[in-house]
Chains A and B, each alone.
Chain A
Amino acid sequence: MKPVRMAILLTLALTTAPLAQTFHFTAIPDQNTARLKERFDKIATYLSDKLEVPTKYIPVKSYSASVAAFKNNDVQLAWFGGLSGVQARRAVPGAQAIAQGEEDMAFVTYFIANTSTGLEASDGFPAAIEAHTFTFGSKGSTSGRLMPEFFIRRHFQKSPNQIFKRVGFSGDHSKTIALVQSGSYQVGAVNFAVWEKEVKAGIIDTSKVRVIWKTPTYPDYNWSIRGDADAAYGEGFIARVKDALLSMSDRNLLDSFPRAKFIAADNKMYEPILETAVDVGIIEK
């Protein structure tokens, strides 16, 4: 029986039950997925201070995992893309979008191409991308999949598989840029904010990869919170979370997203995303 007793004691010693109810949030892993934890732990510290409720960041591997975590109440707050936000709020009655980045009301996807293709920047849809190899970002991404697929389908009246020589899903925006830059894919669709950030940081070799088209604008990322958060953390909690997000001014924190600042948002703003997702067939209606 000795090992048994030892196990029980050790377990007790190693595990301390948290006393206060912790508030959890997550973020879609849309770029530079290494060091996600370091990046978002800073946000957790900020929210803990502002809300006076212990707040913890839960790392996830995929867009769908962040939606599942929100549905299951594993997280109560999440930094979603336009599409993942719509998916999550559709599944959780009462859930609301409370904030978005200043850039998110008019978000843009860049179509980028390896310079060896000879594709040049144009104002109109770049029809010459036909028959090249093409990579989207994550399957659940708004700027990396939903919107580019929508514009591609609208122009060609065909599915991406019928248009391109090969279609891939890189998983995230940084990877899309890396794959197009290395020539593994000739053309790709990328979140403009990640592109601009990486150009500024000097990570992108602009002699190898260039922007060939900027899509019309659409609403994108958002902070969404479960409707039952007030009941769980006290009356007015949702409003306090919203305030904390809107008053975030530390560049160091905002660069994690990357956004200039956060502004108020609501569910209605994302209806175009829902309609587009239904149109493309990602959401059934």
Chain B
Amino acid sequence: MTRASLTLLLIAILCAFVADIEVTTLDPWGELGRMAWGALTPDASVLYTFRNALLNTVTFAFCGISLGIVAGGLLSAGFQLTPVRLFCGFIRAIHEIFWAFLFLPVVGLNPVCGILAIGIPYAGVFAKVYSEIWQEADRRPLRGLPATASGLSRFLYGLLPLTLPALRNYTSYRFECALRSSAVLGFIGLPTLGFHLETAFREGLYSEAAILMYAFYLLIGSLRYWVKPRLIPLYVLLSIGLTSTAIRLSWANLTRFFSYEILPWPIRRQGFVDGSGDLSLPVDQTWTWLVTRFTDQALPGIYDTAILTQIALAATGLLTLLALPSICRHFASPLVSRLSHYVLIVARTTPEYILAYIFVQLWGPSLLPAIAAIALHNGAILAYLSGQHADRIQLRLDAPGRRADRYGFEVLPRIYGQLLAFLFYRWEIMMRESAILGILGITTLGFFIDSAIAEDKMDQFVLLLLVTAFLNMGIDSLSQRLRKGLHISIGSVKTVE
């Protein structure tokens, strides 16, 4: 484990040498001051103006997660089959924002876009986690069932009752994520909270931005008061009802997009020029097209995405180690640990995308704001999880008295394996996020994807999307292999996504 950690650190240091981590703005502190002033003087009047955005944030989340649960539940039934597993890995590997980018030109500006963008990747996540929960479940009740029982009965009577609490825990945690995703989708144009948040930050209207952020924290912080099991069917039906009126699907658009626009340009060129719309396959030109897209966009994009991910991964680890003592009962007083908890809650509730957006306003578009955003968000999550773990352990009687010694020689060695497992577990998530942050002008894969969209080149967009997905799947399987090789596991905690 020491070797793995040091290797990670070494890679990150090497990456930092070639990474572009310059502050390009001239007056970051002045801007920060204006943001702080905005945070102190929230402008509540805009909440009424933006009420529809708030409503959409919630309804998209409800519809999206419902789709994810149903589809993910069905997929989890076949999760032992390799094709199903790969398929789930694939849909999971594409970030919600990229899914929205895909659906925006296909279904247009309507709720379906947001619902599918949340529902599809969530289905992949649910399929995986549900099937893991069912695998880890106690098998004994199953043995009590008659041998002739059908698969469905075995599931309903043998498996489901035992695992229901775990399923419910995980699903409710994902609802919080869905709200975050829904809000962030506004940044690229869906009518949710992020739509107005992006404008407010862009135009420097920090009092407006502040009230929108507060509304968002309140929404998430108050979840357990208004999302009651009894009321969920009501919410879901209401959400479906409210969104369905705005839905309009055009079959012609769907066909045009999937059977024409995403084909590499050389295949379409002849038919476009002569006006017939026919397809042809000029092998040489298509190959050249593919190669130039790889050398000019995919490879530079992968390079920066990987550099960013590796630095962010190490930074997350270091930040976790730094923050951990402040929330752990073995080191901090109850007051300090309570306060630190609040800071961590804010850091992990704020989506990386929003953090990065704020940091880009402050420092300009280099890798620096992206590293800070990813490390802060993930560090807060890991510190929280490791803190819980550390709180549970009993100190040995001969534990060192000095706090630094106690941390380094007693607590850390006992929790380090799981901490490292968490970190590796989030590796793929960080890479997915690194790619996304390219939309903000940082030259990771998202930058080239955003350019393809801006230039209306759907063929290029889909190619880069596939590259991104396969990159993430690769990291995912590497991380699993590493965790197996190091004999570390995240335990049965399923709230680390």
Contacts and interface: CB of A to CB of B under 8 A. Distances in A.
Given A71-B105, A283-B455, A168 B231 contact: no
A237 interface: no
B185 to A, nearest CB: 10
Interface residues of A, number: 52
Nearest to A184: B25
A182 B203 contact: no
Nearest to A2: B234
Contacts of A87: 455-456
A61 B189 contact: yes
Interface in B297-353: none
Given A8-B241, A169-B441, A184 B364 contact: yes
Contact of A74 (B109, B200, B233, B265): B109
Nearest to B236: A7
B109 A69 contact: yes
Nearest to A178: B204
Contacts of A15: 241-242, 245
Nearest to B366: A166
B451 A139 contact: yes
Interface in A145-179: 166, 168-169, 171-172, 174-175, 178
Question: Which secondary structure dominates where chain B touches chain A?
Answer: helix
A83 to B, nearest CB: 9
Contact of A62 (B25, B200, B203, B454): B454
Interface string A57-84: 0111111110111011110000000000
Interface in A13-34: 14-15, 17, 32-34
Contact of B265 (A61, A282, A284): A284
Given A4-B237, A7-B234, A166 B24 contact: yes
A105 B95 CA distance: 42
Given A65-B189, A74-B108, A17 B245 contact: yes
A7 B235 CA distance: 8
Contacts of B456: 64, 67, 87, 91
Contacts of A73: 108, 250, 253
Contacts, number: 120
Nearest to A6: B234
Interface in B267-323: 269, 273
A234 interface: no
Given A64-B456, A87-B456, A11 B189 contact: no
Interface string B207-242: 000000000000000000000001101100110011
A61 B454 contact: no
A62 to B, nearest CB: 6
A138 interface: yes
Given A138-B454, A166-B24, A61 B188 contact: yes
A126 B52 CA distance: 48
A236 interface: no
B481 interface: no
Contacts of A17: 245
B454 A63 contact: yes
What's the interface size class on B, roughly?
35 or more
B441 A10 contact: no
A139 B364 CA distance: 17
Given A6-B234, A182-B25, A33 B202 contact: yes
A115 interface: no
A133 interface: yes
Given A69-B108, A87-B456, A140-B454, A34 B25 contact: no
Contacts of A34: 199-200, 203, 205
A72 B230 contact: no
Contacts of A8: 237, 241
Contacts of B471: none
A183 interface: yes
A3 interface: yes
A63 B230 CA distance: 43
B428 interface: no
Given A10-B241, A282-B455, A4 B233 contact: yes
A168 B198 CA distance: 18
Nearest to A169: B441
Interface string B340-376: 0000000000000000000000001100000000000
Contact of A61 (B24, B27, B198, B238): B198
Contacts of A72: 105-109, 250, 253
Contacts of B230: 3
A168 B456 CA distance: 19
A275 to B, nearest CB: 15
A32 B203 contact: yes
Contacts of B245: 15, 17
A187 to B, nearest CB: 13
Contacts of A285: 269, 273
Interface string A37-69: 000000000000000000000111111110111
A59 B204 CA distance: 20
Contacts of A166: 24
Contacts of A184: 24-26, 364
B389 interface: no
Contacts of B205: 34
6 contacts: A3-B230, A34-B199, A63-B454, A64-B454, A175-B202, A184-B24
Given A6-B234, A14-B241, A139-B454, 5 more contacts: A15-B245, A34-B200, A62-B188, A74-B110, A184-B25
Interface of A: 3-4, 6-8, 10-12, 14-15, 17, 32-34, 36, 58-65, 67-69, 71-74, 87, 91, 133, 138-140, 166, 168-169, 171-172, 174-175, 178, 182-185, 282-285
Which 3 pairs of residues, A with B, have the shortest CB-CB distance? A11-B241, A61-B189, A7-B237
